[in-house]
Amino acid sequence: MTQQEFKKTGLRQTSAREKLVELFSEKRTWSAKQIQACFNDVDRATIFRNLKTLQKKNIITPIHAHAGETLFELAGRSHHAHQICSKCQTAICVPCPIKSKTEHNLEFFNLCQLCAK
Ligand SMILES: [Zn+2]
Ligand SMILES: [Zn+2]
Ligand SMILES: [Zn+2]
């Protein structure tokens, strides 16, 4: 999402939200814990509050992943699969290899680029 699109949502642009939008522009999902690790000075409650607001505005959406924690990603992405790192649990959005039109949800485990190094 661009800053321009963000402004259209009518959200007040705090630096925390600005940063959140930046994170969600990446083709991956985020858990609240992973997000908190990206901020040094923002408490968990603030992160949860901002996530809730973004979710209410349909900017981000929770996804049902295998991992215990709720993962969020940018809303409105076309159908895709998730590659979950078996070491750091990061879920990356990847093209879905399944051609079937019936509803499905594909997740597979593999090391992410950082952990594979
Ligand atoms: Zn990893
Ligand atoms: Zn995704
Ligand atoms: Zn698919």
DSSP secondary structure string, 30-70? Answer: EEHHHHHHH-SS--HHHHHHHHHHHHHTTSEEEE--SSSS-
pLDDT in tens, 32-71: 889 999 988 888 888 999 999 999 999 999 987 665 788 9
Q: How far apart are CA 96 and CA 39, in angstroms?
A: 31
CA of 28 to the centre of ligand 2 (A): 6
Q: How far apart are CA 108 and CA 62, in angstroms?
A: 18
35 phi, psi to nearest 5 deg: -65, -45
Domain boundaries, the chain: 3-116
pTM equals: 0.82
82 alpha carbon, closest ligand: 2
Identify the pLDDT of residue 25: 93
The two structure tokens encoding residue 17: 């939200």
Q: Who surrounds ion ligand 2 at CB < 5 A?
A: 73, 93
Indicate the CATH number of 3-116 among 1.10.10.10, 3.40.50.720, 3.40.640.10, 1.10.1040.10: 1.10.10.10
Whether the CB-CB separation of 100 and 87 falls below 8 Å is answered with no
